[in-house]
Structure 1
Amino acid sequence: MVLAAIYIKEHKYLFNNEPQVLNFGGKYFYDFEYITDNDITIYRKENNKFINDFFSNEITLISGIVGANGVGKTTLLKIIHKSYQEDTPAIFVYEKLTSQGIEYFIDNRIGSRNKNGSFIEETKPRISFFENIEFKKFEFNSYTQLYYSPIYDKNVSDFYTLLNIESKHSERTLEDIYNGGILKEVIFLESNVSQRIKDIYPDFPSYGNLIIKPRKLHKRDFTKVYIDSNLGNPNKAETLIHTIERDLRVKNFPNPVSLLNSYLSILKSGNVTDALKEIWDLPQYKNDDEQNSHLIHSSNNFIKNIEISLLSYLLLNDIFAITELSGTFDYNKILKAKSFEEALNYILAKYIVQTDKGFYDNPEEVDINEYDKLIQRCNTLYNSFSILSDEDTKIIKEKITTDINGIKAIKDFYDLIIKNQNLIEKKSYIILNVKNKETKKILSQIIQAYAKVKAYFSFIPIASIDFIEIVADKKLSFGEKSLLNLYSTLYEFTLFKNHTRESKNYLLILDEADLGYHPLWKRKYIDALNKTLPEIFNTLEIKVFDNIKKKKVNSEMENPKIQIIFTTHDPITLSDLPNYSIVFLKKDSQLNSSVLNIDDFERPTNTFGANISDLLSESFFINNGLIGDFAKDKIEEVIVDLDKLLDLKFNNKYVDISEDKKILLKETIEIIDEPIIKMKLINMYNTIFEVSIENEINELEERLKYLRNLKNNQND
């Protein structure tokens, strides 16, 4: 089944409310006419150049949408994808070729909707074919649509897609998105299907190792966070002056004694700036590298660098509201801790005591290894009362629970690093081999644990809370990253979305997925998709419910069929597509967009195997040409076949060829849009099969057309 055409009744911003028809190159071209307000007639015209299974058994059709920037390509993809926020009135026509002929399926999306967003059948116009052809209602579970774009653009986040693309995660930081992408790549590169694609696509981008290393953190970024507040300013006299000046402006002194006590507390209190400097100067963490003394660590000891980074963030996180319940904890205990784990326990004790000094009689009993006991005590202590010393116990419980969970996340992350310290090279970084079976598991665990730590620190007002970075041992270009991201995203889909395998047909919508590719890769783009996507999609397994076993089990099913619709700005990519499968968009002088129909005189006519720039005059402009690899291979197949047949002909031997093969050769030659190649192949074909004078006339007309085009080009 393929999506053959779409009728767009109106689109205010894209087509100035003028109806448009998109034909994607199926067995027929379609047009639509409103007979009355309630009746729509569909007309069809056979696509005489259509070749069934032209691409491959699994790739049913590949179509392109082209046009200048701003012409509305992404908007059209949104309509095609039927995104959950998409309400453009449109009719979708699907073709299903069978041994008995062709079946039609119609999705009528014109009409009013109810509160649930479903169409009210009574408001839909009646649809009929001019030839009274029967059709069926399109069933959504028969067709799975997948939208992909390599561009991070939150404006297209309303594309609901089963693919895990960047635009779906606008709330995530770029670092989180990057780390998630790295994990996808590792899962893909470690797979067997990756190697099969490498065999098809020898220069497919990859890397051998991942390196996890501490990020360089600047001391100034930490000390400046609270420098203008009581919490961070080491000059308490200066802070006190600002506080007194503020109180004098307000002139509100209901309790002078309390006011004086608050001034004294400012002078006596510690501050984050001094606390940070004290912990940075500890012998086990002190950075003795003079050239890099502005950094928290010298990056020469992975574990110690992780420890001091985490402790630094924990000190910045040490803020609390002073209440009647607040107590104090000796900071020197943290400085004198015998291990990182002991320091974590003291920091948690400090957090808890400052929130509620009555949580434990002896704060040093706090041990993050007794996580369940801490959480249980928190629930028991604060669920009994709603108010404690005029404080809302719900808020107290929430603060202490958050800190317990946060320190637990830090401890889990740290333990994971210690567990894998055998992977630390030269004490400075962790190295993970992509082909190692354990890498996927270890990397996933580290990224998940790291994300939890970052979530706990997310309220610290600092520019970055990233203290590790994950990089490949090979620097990939933007184009390489884009290509690897496309395939790893599709492979990830096949691993986790097996429920979609109940659908036999997939529509893959690619929004400028070739962005950033080198021209050599753009030559391979369509050919690679055609040859490699079946390798990925064939890994999908359907799960059906077995009533006897009372569980879902694997089920045999035909390999899925994949249709591709893509947008591009690249002419090399278009040279791999028959002209009939391309949707051309244009803008008029009023900047309104429209679709150039198949018989529109403005529509470009040459695409498949057509000249992109001046081609070298060897081997019919194929071997060293700039046409797409798919078109090149198809044309070379025709040349090889014709050469063999010519040899038989010249040696007076029987030309043995089936009628189907003869028709396929003729049909392929007819869709070639490069005139010199086409003329040569027609001449070879006519010589072999001794075609009639009528074909000779057609050949002369082709020659005349070529000479006229050549003359016009010279005049230009």
Structure 2
Amino acid sequence: MEIVYMWINDPLRSMDEWELNFGGPWRFSFDRASEELSVKKNKLHIPRFFVPEKHLSENYYIRNITALIGENGTGKTTLLNRIASVMSGGSTELIEFSQEYEVLLIFKIDGDLRLFVGDKLHVNNGNFQESGVMEIQKTELMTEDHFQDMSIVYFSNIFDSAYVPTPNEFRNLENISTNFLIHRPYFHSSYKTNDFTPRESEMIRYLDAENQLNFLIRHRNKVEKWSLPFSMPKKVTAKFEPTMIFYEHMVNDLRSYKDAYQLEKILNSAYDDLVYKNDAVSHFTLLVIMHIYFEIRNSPKEVVEEINKSLDYYTYSEKFDIYQALEMIQFITLKAKNSFQFYETLQGLYKFINYLLEEIEQKRLQIDRKGIHIDINDSISDFLIYYRNAFRHYPFLHFDWRDLSSGERALFNIISRFSSAINSPYSKIHKKSHVLILIDEGELYLHPLWQRRLINDLIEYFSYSYCEKHRVNLQIILTSHSPFIISDLPNDHIVFLRRSDNKIKTMDGLDDHKQTFAANINTLFSDAFFMSEGLIGEYAKKKINRLANYIVQSDTTSILEHRETIEKLIELIGEPILRNKLRAMYLDKIQLTQSSLHQMEKRILELEHELLKMKGKNDDKNS
């Protein structure tokens, strides 16, 4: 099932008669006033356009890629979310959607084009039957069966407080967006005390690291047709960086409990004993102590106070070390059975520490003050399993790829999330033959060099890892405001969102019907769609305008006084035409000034000469 065409009118959300063609052999157009749905052939349509070279599957491939392009605030993300809800909510969501908005949709189902007209619209005219479109006369005919064989994967790297579509709302949705991952029920905690809250960013860092590590485990030692466009990391560092700030928050927070004095006493003693030691194991032990605190703090208050009371009977050595920490974990675990989740976490932490000590002793892991250095081999799977069971609320290790640039990390993150979506045993993509991929500003955080190759990398990755390996057909819809993205897409696969007369409208192409595919990036940048206010930065523009006005309006004396600054500023301008124009304006002004001075000097000499002549005549008379 593919979405081929969408017409929607929702003025309250700035969707003023939006029309979207998602590519394909036909171009549709709907006129609300005349109730006419027109169709014409797309003369430049090329079947299997997004199938890469050496693709092995004849039946499973990327059917279509469409980009929604527009500046910030034009509603790209809102539109993408709307598509997600319509396509993943099934017929019930579609019917409710059509009752709330004026909407018209054309789907491709089993090779046939189906027209869905909402309750608030009517189609009574047009030549749309020429394309083979079969109109659905009643909404009841759009049944759940039409949606059974498809799934939606929604990706976004944007981290804000926006609405997040959830799998509970839409059963066919696999949400791998940052906003959703950090709000997953497993990681959500009502924990918030004083001025410290576990950072959501730490959760997403861990989840992304876990996805990346699982990706490497799946693809390690495999010769595959597709691979990352850079060398896969051979080693990862699990960093631990306990700080005084965390410790101060920890102790201050404990003091809010009237019955937490024993716990505070033990943590203070452990901290004082470990903080100034330079060996790696002491640093790790200090991290474990802080982690125990965070997990205790996320337990019910009565559990914290019960543990604190039991510590009246706990004796510890004057010198705190990792074995003392293990002993304390065992002791607290026995007292925490009333809190099952906390009990499970402490048991997991105990097993994780013992596992690490054994691996370090056998030299299968290396540890220093910066962290635990792990080779990407068979042992990494065991490490992840033990570590995953050692925390509930706060991941206490930070995974770091030392040999990856920021652009490589960003692309690695995109690919690993999509890999987790289809390879997870709980994935909703399994046994589906159609998958709709929705990507919201995938180029976010990517250097222009990586933006330029993003479409190619996605085509090659999805063609192999989704289409060939899992036998699914794909439709991809993405949002962007980058010319680098649209240079890889034909004009008929792009919908432009543009602000005009305080409204946002959809456009089928750039001004003058320019082709976008393989277009020069500079040409695309220079189009008024992207740069309606010019091609230079706003600050530079204002600075240059002030300089031009100053040259034109100032008197020559003032210009000569500031001559050095003016000349320096002109030389700083990188655009040669602009620089030469300002230089000419400046020199014209200076030359006029110099010419006037020369004439004045000449006149003075003439007057002096006449004065001398007159003086000579007077002298002759007197003699």
Does the TM-score normalized on the shorter chain lie above 0.5? yes
Is 1:28 aligned to 2:26, yes or no?
A: yes
- Deviations along 1:4-61, one digit per CA (max 9) or x if unpaired, are 210113342223xx3221112211111224579xxx6532111111111122161222
Which SS does the other structure have where 2:439 is aligned?
strand
Is 1:174 aligned to 2:201, yes or no?
A: yes
Match 2:409 to one of 474, 478, 481: 481
CA distance in 2 between partners of 1:310 and 1:91 (Å): 54
1:9-20 to 2 correspondences below 5 Å: 9-15=9-15, 18-20=16-18
Q: 1:217 to 1:317 in 2, by over 3 A?
A: farther
- Displacement of 1:494 in angstroms is 1.9
Instruction: Look up the match of 1:189.
Output: 216
CA distance in 2 between partners of 1:271 and 1:64 (Å): 60
1:136-155 to 2 correspondences below 5 Å: 139-155=146-162
Which SS does the other structure have where 2:515 is aligned?
coil
CA contact (8 A) 1:215 1:466 kept: no
Which SS does the other structure have where 2:518 is aligned?
coil
CA contact (8 A) 2:70 2:497 kept: yes
AA in 1 matched with 2:45: F
Which SS does the other structure have where 1:516 is aligned?
coil
Query: Unpaired runs of 5+ in structure 1?
Result: 112-122, 233-269, 290-297, 353-374, 376-397, 456-464, 542-558, 616-625, 627-716
CA contact (8 A) 1:43 1:130 kept: yes
After TM superposition, the score normalised by the length of structure 1 is 0.57
Q: 1:445 to 1:127 in 2, by over 3 A?
A: farther
Match 2:489 to one of 573, 577, 598: 577
Which SS does the other structure have where 1:334 is aligned?
coil
AA in 1 matched with 2:329: L
Q: 1:226 to 1:29 in 2, by over 3 A?
A: same
CA RMSD of aligned residues (A): 4.0
AA in 2 matched with 1:287: Y
Q: 1:193 to 1:62 in 2, by over 3 A?
A: farther
AA in 2 matched with 1:225: D
Which SS does the other structure have where 1:415 is aligned?
helix
After TM superposition, the score normalised by the length of structure 2 is 0.64
Identity, % of aligned positions: 19
1:205-354 to 2 correspondences below 5 Å: 206-218=232-244, 219-226=247-254, 274-281=265-272, 285=274, 287-288=276-277, 299-301=280-282, 304-309=285-290, 330=312, 333-335=315-317, 339-347=324-332
Which SS does the other structure have where 2:521 is aligned?
coil
CA contact (8 A) 1:433 1:439 kept: yes
CA contact (8 A) 1:596 1:603 kept: no
Q: 1:271 to 1:489 in 2, by over 3 A?
A: closer
CA distance in 2 between partners of 1:214 and 1:74 (Å): 37
Which SS does the other structure have where 2:409 is aligned?
helix
CA contact (8 A) 2:8 2:102 kept: yes
Match 1:565 to one of 477, 492, 495: 477
CA contact (8 A) 2:28 2:38 kept: yes
- Deviations along 1:300-340, one digit per CA (max 9) or x if unpaired, are 5466445544566689799759999x977645623479844
CA distance in 1 between partners of 2:325 and 2:21 (Å): 66
CA distance in 2 between partners of 1:506 and 1:228 (Å): 51
Q: 1:534 to 1:341 in 2, by over 3 A?
A: same
CA distance in 1 between partners of 2:20 and 2:298 (Å): 57
CA distance in 2 between partners of 1:300 and 1:403 (Å): 24
Which SS does the other structure have where 1:81 is aligned?
helix
Query: Unpaired runs of 5+ in structure 2?
Result: 52-57, 168-172, 188-199, 527-623
Q: 1:92 to 1:195 in 2, by over 3 A?
A: farther
Which SS does the other structure have where 1:500 is aligned?
coil
Count of paired positions: 467
Is 1:528 aligned to 2:537, yes or no?
A: no
CA distance in 2 between partners of 1:317 and 1:597 (Å): 53
Which SS does the other structure have where 1:9 is aligned?
strand
CA contact (8 A) 1:223 1:272 kept: no
CA distance in 2 between partners of 1:524 and 1:205 (Å): 16
Instruction: Look up the match of 2:103.
Output: 90
- Deviations along 1:618-668, one digit per CA (max 9) or x if unpaired, are xxxxxxxx9xxxxxxxxxxxxxxxxxxxxxxxxxxxxxxxxxxxxxxxxxx
Instruction: Look up the match of 1:654.
Output: none
Instruction: Look up the match of 2:522.
Output: 613
Match 1:433 to one of 363, 375, 398: 375
AA in 2 matched with 1:46: K
CA contact (8 A) 1:66 1:582 kept: yes
CA distance in 2 between partners of 1:106 and 1:612 (Å): 37
CA distance in 2 between partners of 1:571 and 1:147 (Å): 22
Match 1:52 to one of 27, 40, 47: 47
- Deviations along 1:99-132, one digit per CA (max 9) or x if unpaired, are xxxx212344x24xxxxxxxxxxx8857886454
Mean Cα deviation higher: 331-340 or 580-589: 331-340
Instruction: Look up the match of 1:449.
Output: 389
CA distance in 2 between partners of 1:194 and 1:403 (Å): 38
Instruction: Look up the match of 2:440.
Output: 511
Instruction: Look up the match of 2:165.
Output: 158
Q: 1:23 to 1:314 in 2, by over 3 A?
A: closer
AA in 1 matched with 2:66: S
Instruction: Look up the match of 1:65.
Output: 68
Which SS does the other structure have where 1:526 is aligned?
helix
Instruction: Look up the match of 1:408.
Output: 347
Which SS does the other structure have where 1:333 is aligned?
coil
Instruction: Look up the match of 1:389.
Output: none
